[in-house]
Structure formats: structure tokens, C-alpha cells
Amino acid sequence: MASNVTDHSRRQFLQFLAASPVCGALGGVSFAHAQGQAVATPADAIDIFDLEATANSNIPVAHWGYLATGVNDDSTLRANRTAFEKYYARSLRLRDRGSVDTSVEILGTKWPTPIICAPVGSQKAFHADGEIAVARAAKARNHLQILSTVTSTSIEEVANARQDPLWFQLYTMGGWPGIRSRLRRAEAVGCPVVVLTVDLSGGTDARHTLWREIRKDTRDCSVCHEGNGVAARTKPMLVGGDGPETSLTWELLDRLKQETSMKVFVKGIVTAEDAELCLLHGADGIIVSNHGGRGDDSGRGAIDSLAEVASAVRGRTTLLMDSGIRRGNDIFKALALGADAIMVGRPYIWGLGAFGQAGVDRALEILTEELKIAMSSFGTPSVGDIGLTSIGRV
């Protein structure tokens, strides 16, 4: 109740401020481009960017660099945000706005929102509870969670905390012995889907923001990053395979389909040509993603890639999207362009770094509430009402 009162009071104050002549005398303050501010409690966070600012003050500088980095000068990372500005919502009036239904169905399972927790590695670098805190928040709010190969907590522990099926994201380190080991462990805990990530073929050495932030960190990081047994301590899903990393080819996808009983999604598709090849090779789903701007230096925003891929796929398979989503309006635009659901990474990790499980919960709450407001404002009471006619392009 106290939080609702606070939110109501805040809205009243902002409405008063917006109408006040004082605003014109503030000398360059731009509310449209306001930056987040660190907050004392999760409830104090007005938007995702307040959680970002709070997490930035908590997370060690090198770890923050790992989370914040793009490739080279971060042009793709920036494009992921600015590309959303090319699209605008077409607001429909005189529609019944009595209730908004954000639920979606993915592979026969109904979820209360289209917001999925994307795979993000090394989550204990951002909070001591790491993936367990995320699993508990995802359980409490009933969000689908996808676990990274480079998780800092084993899939068995995360599945136990989530108490509902996870999806598992797959890298090819350790060759086929490593791949098989991870597939068997994912199958054993009941994962219905494995997500093959294909967009990190060469970009990771060019993460200049990360390298600059590492130079600022004065801690002794050798305990985590050097010496015998590092994988067992910090990357438990990398234990069990010592072969060379397998090349990312369409033959790999064919073999993976034969190796596992799980459905196989391909993450990192950004062109119509590759989307068609995914369908040709039997992929069960496609995830449009440029790894949050961390995978290559294309300079293209993922929302533009979604528009291209969706026009090629035409509803023939499950289509997800990530990279750059920060607002409920962003989610609305992605759904309008053809995504069946969306994935967020940095936003819930900012919540994790800010306040642990409670911060993850708040991040997911903010995005859900913003999506509800967008759907109500634009006259689309259900996700099924959102389509290409719901948006336009500048």
C-alpha cells in the first residue's frame, strides 16, 4: 500500500511539474532524456535506468565493463537503442481499456507476459546469489528463464531453485564431448529447449570498453580467472569436455538435432537468408539477436533485423528477439514487428546487481507494467491485437 501511495504521489508531482512554468526556467534539463539515478530500495526505481545506475555503483569496475561492453566503439550497442526510434506506435482510440492481457503461448506453454530472462553468463560477478536469485525471481513472477553455458551456478542448482523447466543456451567449448555432457545434463533436469548461439565468431577480442574498465580495477582477480580448477569453481557447465571448440556451421545444427531430444532454437540470426536456412535445417525456433551489441560490429540495430527476419519467416516458426529492449514501448514494437516474445538481459542483471532477487523482481515488474500501459494507451488489449498496423516507421 505504501508503494502505491508513493507512486500516486510521484505521478501527481510530475503532472504538476510538467504543467508548471518553472519547467521552462530549468535551463536545459531534458526529462525526455533523463538518466537513471541510484536508488535506496527496489520500489524507488522509476524505470530500468534507475536500476542500472544503482548496479553501477555496486558492481566491481571490471565486472561492470564486462556487462556494459559492446564491440570496438560500441556502435552496434548504441544502434540497438537508436533503431527503436525509427518506429512509432499508432494509437487507436475509443477501444475498451478495461483489462489488458499480456499473456503469450510459447511451444504450447502459456506465460503471463512475453518477457523472457535471456541467458547471461557469470551472474555471480554481479551479485553473490547470481543465477539462483534470478531463478527465484523468475519463479515468483512466472517468467521463462534461459541459462547460459557460462553460468556461474550449475544447471542442477538453478533448476532446483526455479522448480519449473529452464531452457539451456549452448556454446561449443570442449568440442562434442563438452556439448554432449551439457546436453545430457540439460535433458536430465527437464529442459525442453536448447538454444544454440551462433553470433560470437570473432567479436569477443574487440570488446574495447571491457579492456579499458579492466585496467581501472585494482583487485587481485587471479583467484577467479587463473590457476587450476577455475572452470569447476566458476563455470560448472564447462566441466566434462576437453576437445577443441566446434566450428559454427549448418552441419553443426544438423548434428545437434540428432544428438538431443530437446527442441533446438538458433540464437543470433539477423538476416532473411539465415532465417530461411534455419527453417531448411529444421530449427524449432529462431532468436533474432546481435548479442546485445557484443557479438559483431555490424552497426545495425536488432529491431531492424527483426523486421527483415519476420518478413521472411511469416509465422512458420517461433520467433523471439533480444538486444536493446529497455522499455515497455520497445517490447510493443518488437511484438508488432512479428516477435512471439522478447528476451531481456542487461535490464534484469541491473536489477540483480542493484538489489539481488528483489532487484530482478523489480526489473521484471517495471517492464511488465510499462508494456501494460503501452498496450492500453495504443488500443491493443491483448498481445494478439498487436500487429504490423500497430506501428509505423519514421
3-state secondary structure of 59: coil
Contact 37, 31 (CB under 8 A): no
Task: Give the span between the Cα atoms of 53 and 81, in whole angstroms.
Answer: 17
Let me know if residue 11 belongs to a domain.
Answer: no
Burial code (b: 16+ CB inside 10 Å, e: under 16) for 77-105 equals: bebbbebbeebebeeeeeeeeeebebebe
Active site residue 225: no
The 8-class DSSP code of residue 393 comes to: E
In terms of C-beta density within 10 A (0-12 exposed, 13-18 middle, 19 or more buried), how is residue 313 classed? buried
Other Cβ atoms less than 10 A from the Cβ of 211: the count is 13
> Of the ranges 191-195, 242-246, 329-333, 369-373, which one carries the lowest mean pLDDT score?
242-246
Task: Give the span between the Cα atoms of 162 and 176, in whole angstroms.
Answer: 28
- Which whole number is the average pLDDT over 86-106? 92
pLDDT at residue 261, rounded to an integer: 97
Amino acid symbol at 376: S
- Which whole number is the average pLDDT over 330-350? 98
Let me know if residue 198 belongs to a domain.
Answer: yes
Let me know if residue 75 belongs to a domain.
Answer: yes
Query: If pLDDT is split at 50, 70 and 90, which confidence band does 37 have?
Result: very high
Residue 89: strand pairing partners: 391
CATH number at residue 259: 3.20.20.70
The 8-class DSSP code of residue 174 comes to: B
- Which whole number is the average pLDDT over 259-279? 98
181 is in which domain, residue-wise? Answer: 47-393
Residue 266: strand pairing partners: 196, 286
302: nearest Cα among 338, 276, 278, 277: 338
Task: Give the span between the Cα atoms of 286 and 359, in whole angstroms.
Answer: 29
In terms of C-beta density within 10 A (0-12 exposed, 13-18 middle, 19 or more buried), how is residue 75 classed? middle
Task: Give the span between the Cα atoms of 367 and 277, in whole angstroms.
Answer: 33
Cell of 361: 523482481
The residue ranking higher by pLDDT, 234 or 290, is: 290
Let me know if residue 103 belongs to a domain.
Answer: yes
251: nearest Cα among 223, 282, 272: 282
304: nearest Cα among 283, 278, 333, 281: 333
Let me know if residue 352 belongs to a domain.
Answer: yes
pLDDT at residue 29, rounded to an integer: 38
3-state secondary structure of 88: strand
pLDDT at residue 47, rounded to an integer: 98
- Which whole number is the average pLDDT over 130-143? 98
What is the number of structural domains in the chain? 1
Let me know if residue 15 belongs to a domain.
Answer: no
Task: Give the span between the Cα atoms of 342 and 75, in whole angstroms.
Answer: 22
pLDDT at residue 206, rounded to an integer: 86
- Which whole number is the average pLDDT over 16-34? 42
Task: Give the span between the Cα atoms of 110 and 102, in whole angstroms.
Answer: 11
Amino acid symbol at 218: T
Let me know if residue 23 belongs to a domain.
Answer: no
Let me know if residue 376 belongs to a domain.
Answer: yes
